[in-house]
Amino acid sequence: MEQILHQLSKAIRSAIDGTEAQRKFIVHVLHDLIGLETRPVCLTEIAYDWCSTIYENRLALEDWEGLLVTSLEIGFRHLDLRDWRTKFTFTHTKHHLEMVDAVFNSQKSESIADLLHAWTMGYSLCIPPDTCAERLVCLHNLVSFSPRLRLLVILSAELTGYG
């Protein structure tokens, strides 16, 4: 399954850089992946890589925001918040912090929770703590908190050291 997902990932990244006809199928493939009952661990890293690729190519993509939050859902929504044994390696690009703004601007509670989960994987922040804190301070004014988002906000605040 992992080999298939890596091949699929190459095809998706190629389509993002490809023609409009190739790009229009990306959304369908991503929505099909949401329906997977069992997701291999590698899909989390792959999906996060898609987020960076999507953001870098956002000017060529019609609904890049939708593709971004869908990729986060594929990679993080299925993970158990209590299981921190699995370590992930995320590729961070120069656009990483700008991508954060796009997710928070979506005002989608679960998408923000997906991003917070990515930030807090393995109990270490993958972004500067002040960037995390700035967004968390006003978050309650933007979205209603699901139990998952509430837990991830608390964990993120603990990791940044802000009361």
Do 74 and 47 meet the contact criterion of CB atoms below 8 Å apart? Answer: yes
CA-closest candidate to residue 150, choices 117, 103, 104: 117
Which residue ranges in the chain fall short of pLDDT 70? 82-96, 122-133, 159-163
pLDDT attached to residue 31:
92
Do 151 and 81 meet the contact criterion of CB atoms below 8 Å apart? Answer: yes
pLDDT attached to residue 38:
84
CA-closest candidate to residue 111, choices 86, 80, 82, 75: 75
pLDDT attached to residue 160:
64
pLDDT attached to residue 123:
44
pLDDT attached to residue 86:
61
CA-closest candidate to residue 125, choices 149, 90, 151: 90
Q: How far apart are CA 12 and CA 6, in angstroms?
A: 10
